[in-house]
Amino acid sequence: MTLHVGLGTFKPVTAELVHEHRMDAERWTVPEATAAALARARADRRRVVAVGTTVVRALESAAEAGDGAPAAGTGATELFIVPGYRFRVVDVLLTNFHLPRSTLLMLVSAFAGRERVLAAYREAVELGYRFFSYGDAMLAERSPDLR
């Protein structure tokens, strides 16, 4: 599965109101084998683990394009995931720490809950973690109140 990430993913959110920020369109592809594996996981009541925020955006975009489950295919997305978004596909996310005011940090906050993410970031700063793409990572389960 692929999301062709563009500059928009990394463009800082500068809008006064987060919902005024616009993502640049990016193309996604979900192969048949991936769609079938996701369908089997759901049928077997197994969790779906995404490795990276781009995987989350691609799967959630594919789900929005279909009937709520990602179907095989290709499309374009401007999906900007912020707190309040209802995830349809992903249950667990492995990702690195992201920069402040980034669309990626907002996605993680939407996924795990803003307060939980801010607490993790405070601890990461206290412990000297690196941010962005320098080797530190977090494993987040979707917040129970966001299910």
Tell me 80's DSSP state. Answer: -
pLDDT at residue 147 greater than cutoff 60: no
Q: Which of left, alpha, beta for 17 (phi over 0: left; psi -120 to 50: alpha)? A: beta
CATH no. for residue 126? Answer: 3.40.1780.10
Percent of the chain with pLDDT over 70: 94
Cα separations (Å) of 10 from 7, 105, 121, 124, 133? 5, 10, 19, 21, 12
Full domain range(s) for residue 95: 2-146
Q: What integer pLDDT is reported at residue 139 of this predicted model?
A: 87
Q: Most confidently modeled of 63-77, 112-126, 133-147?
A: 112-126
Q: How would residue 132 be classed by pLDDT, with cut points 50, 70 and 90? A: low
Mean pLDDT score of the chain: 88
Mean pLDDT to the nearest integer, 120-136: 80
Confidence bin at 11 (pLDDT 50/70/90) = confident
Q: What is the pTM for the complete model shown?
A: 0.87
Range with the poorest average pLDDT among 55-64, 69-78, 112-121, 136-145: 136-145
In total, how many domains does the chain have? 1
Torsion of CA 8, 85, 135, 11, to 10 degrees: 20
